Amino acid sequence: MAFDNTTTIIGNITADPELHFGATGTARCTFSIAWNQKRREGEDEVHYFRVTAWGDLAENAAESFRKGNRVWVYGRLNHSKWDTPNGEKRSAVEVSAEDAGLSVRWRPANVSETGSVGSRSAPQMPEPQVPDYEPF
């Protein structure tokens, strides 16, 4: 049976992303997104989602995202339940990110390739060698 639990969430980042590296050198970036749901009574209900990104996506997100940025995240939902030491039941929904980006719905994003440490550019390919004669 096929099961698809992917989602796209759009919201504001609540704190600067945190980047960590595991023992094997794999990058992991975590941050939270807040999403406001409008109610009929005119009140907003705020929902928070914890996001985890891995590898290159983690490094790029940590370098690109800041607190307050409006972002979109596409990924898989993970639901966790646990009991606190006091016996209280808790649960959380986390998104394991597969892709993410800045939202440009209300504000343009300033994107630039600076060539600074940490930014990446396409590898330079060597010029093809052209023979002095026609090979046909």
Exposure on the CB side of residue 90, measured as CA atoms within 13 A: 8
**Which secondary structure element, helix H or strand E, spans residue 55, and what is its range?**
helix 55-64
* Averaged pLDDT in 10-residue chunks for the chain of 136 residues: 78 95 94 88 86 95 93 92 92 91 81 52 58 58
DSSP 67-135: TT-EEEEEEEEEEEEEE-TTS-EEEEEEEEEEEEEE--SSS---------TT---PPPPPPPP--SS--
pLDDT of residue 116: 44
- Under DSSP, the state recorded for 64 is H
- Under DSSP, the state recorded for 3 is -
Its pTM surpasses 0.75:
no
Give the C-alpha separation, 38 to 50, whole Å. 21
Could you identify the residue written with the tokens 């945190």?
A: 18
